[in-house]
Amino acid sequence: MAGVVVDPVATNAELARTAGLEFPILSDPDLHMIDAYGLRHVAAHDGQDIAFSASVLIDAGGIVRWTRVTRNVRVRPTPDAVLAAIDASATGPSR
């Protein structure tokens, strides 16, 4: 698992420390990765571009198997939904 956000490394380090997060949080201030994944949300925060809230599951071979891009910032996939997607990714793609 990895997080992806426009925030700088120092902000992510502070978040990881305070929240006790052990997975990598990737800093993408220029939105290179966010653009590559089609997830730029233009002028979404004080006129600045940020990422849409989204989850993307990539299988062991590097193929995208499952995505959830929220239409509402408070709605995220549940842990059960993510685990089910991981289980299903071995058998085929789903959206």
Partner 1 sequence: MRLGLASSGLVLGLAGVIGYFAVVLAVPALVPFVRNHAAPNWLLVAAGLGLSLLAVRRAAPGAWMPRVLLGLNASLAALFAAFLYVMLSVPAASGPAIGAAAPDFALVDQSGKTTRLADFRGSPLLLVFYRGHW
**Token pair in block for residue 86:** 């991981």
* Residue 41: φ, ψ to 5°: -105, 105
Residues of the shown chain interacting with partner 1 in the complex, contacts defined by CB under 8 A: 1-7, 9, 11-13, 15-16, 24-28, 32-34, 36-41, 44-46, 48, 50-67, 69-76, 78-79, 82, 86, 89, 93-95
Residue among 16, 18, 41, 19 at smallest CA distance from 27: 16
Q: Minimal distance in Å, beta carbon 94 to partner 1?
A: 7
Q: Minimal distance in Å, beta carbon 85 to partner 1?
A: 8
Kindly report the length of the chain: 95
